[in-house]
């Protein structure tokens, strides 16, 4: 008896000796070679995004080097409503103050080289005469390093009688530093909630000062102001007023943007977001008063 006995009745007797499987088919199919796993991307460190750039101090005329961000090496992740940029891997705000290590002159990079002789004299007499030098830093600036540099920049701005907009802009960017420090505070920080509350208090105080400075300089200074056009500054003042809890002022400034014929749809949309935030803040404040 065979597996195919009886096929002859179909006229297929010659097929009675067939194997169910050919020998070649019985051979195990060769499995394809697994593809090698892609090489892991090299880890990016903050120090990798920095380089030392040379500057000349306009007060003492001495050269020095300061850490700066490599152009094109950082990616913007988002922008806060008060225009604070947030980048991947590094907080660029930490590196925007230049400090002469010899005479102590300091300012945001945007304002550093602009110096009147009378201003240089004021800095020499009130800053340089008592300056004890910069503390050592590592490969990167910590938030505390950066805050100290901003404090020095603000002191210089006041001493040299800088425009209100320069002082306001310095305060604004220092507020962003406190926000960045709070956002990146390690989870194991002792009394972390208390520290964050203190950082928020410092941030809010600086934002109020920035609001007062920008609103005061709006009608007294020319545009562009700190690199911003009139509508951008108008929007910024509105948002700073909101963060300062001055909601009526915020709405007044926002209305200027929304009714402007020159405002782009992009900035009008940002203004609408701030307007909605004002209403939310007002509602929360009213609910808090009722409780």
Token code pair at residue 287: 């609910």
| Residue bearing tokens 């929007």 | 235
Cβ burial, residue 283 (10 Å; 0-12/13-18/19+): exposed
In a domain, 26, yes or no: no
pLDDT score recorded for residue 176: 98
Task: Assess whether pLDDT exceeds 80 at residue 44.
Answer: yes
pLDDT score recorded for residue 27: 54
What span, in angstroms and rounded, lies between the C-alpha atoms of 181 and 73?
22
In a domain, 179, yes or no: yes
In a domain, 88, yes or no: yes
Buried residues in 253-277 as b, exposed as e (16+ CB within 10 A): bbebbeeeeebeeebbebbeebbeb
What span, in angstroms and rounded, lies between the C-alpha atoms of 65 and 54?
4
In a domain, 105, yes or no: yes
Lowest pLDDT segment from 36-40, 147-151, 180-184: 36-40
Work out the number of other CB atoms within 10 angstroms of the CB of residue 150: 26
Find residue 54's DSSP bridge partners.
Answer: 65
In a domain, 192, yes or no: yes
**What domain range is 54 assigned to?**
46-228
What span, in angstroms and rounded, lies between the C-alpha atoms of 97 and 90?
15
- What is the total count of domains within the chain? 1
What 3-state class would DSSP assign to 50? strand
Token code pair at residue 231: 């509508």
Query: What is the rounded average pLDDT of the residues 196-216?
Result: 98
In a domain, 164, yes or no: yes
pLDDT single digits (tens) 110-125: 999 999 999 999 999 9
In a domain, 149, yes or no: yes
What span, in angstroms and rounded, lies between the C-alpha atoms of 30 and 202?
68
């Amino acid at each position: 008896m065979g597996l195919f006995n009886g096929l002859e009745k179909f006229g297929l007797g010659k097929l009675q000796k067939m194997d169910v499987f050919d020998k070649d088919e019985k051979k195990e199919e060769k499995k394809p070679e697994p593809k090698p796993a892609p090489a892991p991307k090299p880890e990016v460190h903050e120090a990798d995004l920095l380089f030392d750039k040379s500057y000349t101090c306009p007060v003492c005329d001495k050269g020095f080097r300061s850490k700066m961000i490599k152009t094109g090496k950082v990616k913007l992740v988002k922008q806060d409503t008060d225009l604070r940029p947030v980048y991947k891997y590094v907080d660029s705000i930490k590196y925007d103050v230049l400090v002469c290590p010899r005479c102590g002159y300091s300012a945001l990079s945007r304002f550093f080289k602009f110096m009147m002789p009378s201003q240089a004299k004021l800095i020499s007499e009130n800053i340089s005469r008592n300056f004890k030098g910069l503390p050592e830093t590592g490969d990167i600036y910590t938030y505390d390093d950066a805050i100290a540099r901003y404090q020095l920049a603000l002191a210089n701005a006041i001493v040299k009688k800088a425009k209100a907009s320069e002082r306001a802009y310095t305060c604004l960017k220092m507020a962003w530093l406190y926000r960045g420090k709070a956002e990146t505070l390690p989870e194991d920080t002792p009394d972390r909630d208390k520290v964050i509350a203190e950082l928020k208090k410092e941030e809010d105080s600086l934002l109020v000062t920035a609001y007062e400075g920008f609103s005061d300089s709006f009608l007294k200074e020319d545009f562009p102001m700190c690199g911003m056009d009139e509508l951008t500054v108008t929007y910024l003042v509105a948002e700073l007023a909101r963060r300062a809890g001055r909601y009526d002022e915020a709405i007044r400034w926002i209305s200027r943007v929304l009714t402007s014929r020159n405002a782009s749809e992009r900035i009008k949309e940002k203004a609408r977001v701030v307007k909605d935030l004002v209403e939310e803040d007002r509602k929360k404040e009213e609910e808090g008063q009722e409780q």
